[in-house]
Structure 1
């Protein structure tokens, strides 16, 4: 008997929640749905496979049997899976309606049905956050069939009154005092029968489409934010409202800068001479060049704040600050001449105790030089 790893089929961990299971199935159902892959037998088989996995893992009882006894335990309990795609549509009529706004089966009534919401991820570079950005987004979704206008039947052939229920949509069965009324199995409660289903949408009332949208992303938006685009989800049927499009923002990390609220944080590497004497340096900064004033005697770890050069607040537009954390670079090697000058400087400044450590013995000279620089820059600790 072939082993089936339903968790691997849906791409989820074994401790996945019901919400994670449903989300994984929706994503794969969109990818392998027969309407999106006409004539593709491989996609059809994959659609059946993921639907079988979802049927088992979304049912607590079946899932418990599967987790303990595996696929063979399910088979022994009488589980048969799906014979064909139509079985899937019948079984998951409600879930497909939740996912896509319709169930791929004729409904029992034509009351308005709202369309499903859609969710997409938008990836931005860090520099995109400094100003409003317009992006062209291509989305894939179902839209109302232009041939049948969402009715599902061939407009050239029309419909006829259902012979079984005489157009009432329900059938009544009476035996003695017992009476039961149920939805007409032929017309599914419509009261009419398609003479022929729409050749374009095969009776669903919707077709798969790619659509391009121009989306405006506001300046200063944060990673993980959600943008709602009204009425750009799946269309409704029979007068139902269209769903919304939700865009989850993902900001790629920058090599040199990161964000804290609306402030931009980075490091400024300077040499020890600039740290002692002060300096002016120019740095490239997202399309401009900034002149940074380094005060004399600045210490490692101190911050230089440039006001108004951070990110704009998404509501007020007020900009945060650029905060540069100073990192003093200590040279690992210096020339003989440089060493003499530094010794002289140390003598002038009265730090002979440091200088004496430089040349006691050749074996320890490297470590002692490093200690000298540490004390020279960072001071005694």
Structure 2
């Protein structure tokens, strides 16, 4: 089951202020708190969902990643608070009741967050496949301190507040809340002498270049997974993954529909009336298309096997060419005379324009019925 939009969960607009988000969360959390709704599975699920949404939207960095990349950018199951960590989040928003402060994640090894990168491709590259170089910002383990956050030669020590557990428990009335330790932010460790390079974070921001191999036949919305190229893990945990999402640029000639390609071919009214042969572009080069006499505008011609072979396998699709009869412009005097002569000759029985004749017959009958 897909996750609901976090803004929808809290009932706020995407441009909501921090104060509005906090107020909305307080309302939802109080309404569905398990102590007020014992043995109510639905309220418990809504409460957890609200905690997860608030944990992301109340953090400027996570909110920015969520706005840009969606759920994949924050990956609550991989790196941040899970849906079940409602004690930590609830204590964040109601910290004024217990005197607690806002904390970070729980202690222990955690996988880094997954990331998303939007890659725009031309139709030709998507059909035939290509290799693309991309640059992405990422947090990597600090080489100076090997990710410990402590200056070389020193080491983190157990937190004096939680004794290395990473959690503290506060209780008042019917509330019993286990919250992240406000001193060590859930790591269970304190850094007395921080690293000069990462300033105690254990990670530094870098730009890295990746080579993305795009398989032949990808389409709009397809994703390519680069394992381990997401955010670095916490406390030695594995890195997340990078998902490269494909977006197709508009093509000058073709419109893709799955395995099929569509295009419009303008022809003169002379070719449409008398028939002829045209050269039609395909992704493999030009091919000849025979236009029969008396072809009407909108007629669809199918060139089998001239479409796309999907990345998911199967045969190539077709190229569907829609004929558009073009009315001539900038006529010479002689051309106008010939057309006027053609019009004068006329079509008294309506055999040369059957659709026009049928349409006007229908109009006449409609008007006669109204008068009757």
Fold match (TM-score > 0.5): yes
Which consecutive residues of structure 2, in runs of 5 or more, have no partner in the other structure?
1-5, 29-54, 64-73, 82-101, 170-177, 359-372
- 2:237 partner SS: coil
What is the deviation of 1:185? 7.0
Alignment check: 8 A CA contact 1:115 1:234 kept:
yes
What secondary structure does 1:266 align onto?
strand
2:274 and 2:209 mapped to 1: Cα distance? 57
Q: Check 1:289–1:352 CA distance in 2 against 1; reply closer, same or farther (3 A cut).
A: closer
Any idea what SS the aligned residue of 2:139 has?
strand
Superimposed CA distance per residue, residues 308-363 of structure 1 (whole angstroms, 9 cap, x where no aligned partner): 1112122115211111111112335655544665677789xx85539xxxxxxxxx
Q: Write the distance in 2 (CA, Å) between the matches of 1:240 and 1:117.
A: 13
Going from structure 1 to structure 2, the CA distance change for 1:107 and 1:19 (only over 3 Å counts) comes to closer
Residues 6-45 of structure 1 mapped to structure 2, 5 A cutoff: 16-18=7-9
Residue 353 (1) aligns with residue 348 (2): yes
Q: TM-score, normalised by structure 1?
A: 0.60
Counterpart of 2:109 in structure 1 is 112
Unaligned runs of 5+ in 1: 1-14, 26-49, 65-87, 173-180, 355-371
Deviates more, 1:97-106 or 1:251-260: 97-106
Q: In structure 1, what is the equivalent of residue 174 of structure 2? A: none
- 1:60 and 2:21 matched: no
Q: Any idea what SS the aligned residue of 2:348 has?
A: helix
Whether the 8 Å CA contact 2:282–2:306 is kept in 1: the answer is: no
State the 1:187 CA deviation: 6.0
* Largest Rg, 1 or 2: 1
Question: Following the alignment from structure 1 to structure 2, what is the Cα–Cα distance between the partners of residues 292 and 20?
Answer: 57
Contact kept? 1:272, 1:377, Cα under 8 Å? no
Residue matched to 1:380: 357
Query: 1:6 corresponds to which residue?
Result: none
2:357 partner SS: coil
Do the aligned partners of residues 55 and 311 (structure 1) sit closer, same or farther apart at CA in structure 2, a change above 3 Å counting? farther
Q: What does 1:1-381 align with in structure 2 at a 5 Å threshold?
A: 16-18=7-9, 53-54=17-18, 56-60=20-24, 101=79, 109=107, 111-159=108-156, 193-286=190-283, 288-316=285-313, 318-331=315-328, 334-335=331-332, 337-338=334-335, 351-353=346-348, 380-381=357-358
SS of equivalent residue, structure 1 residue 128: helix
Paired residue total: 287
Q: Is the 8 A contact 1:300 1:378 kept in 2?
A: no
After superposition, the C-alpha distances for 1:121-161 in whole angstroms (9 at most, x for unaligned) are 11122333321121111111111111122211112333456
Shift of 1:247: 2.2
- What TM-score do you get using the length of structure 2 for normalisation? 0.61
C-alpha RMSD of matched pairs (Å): 4.5
1:72: which partner in 2? none
More displaced stretch, 325-334 vs 189-198: 189-198
Q: Deviations over 1:218-262 (max 9, x none)?
A: 233222233322211111123322111122222122233212221
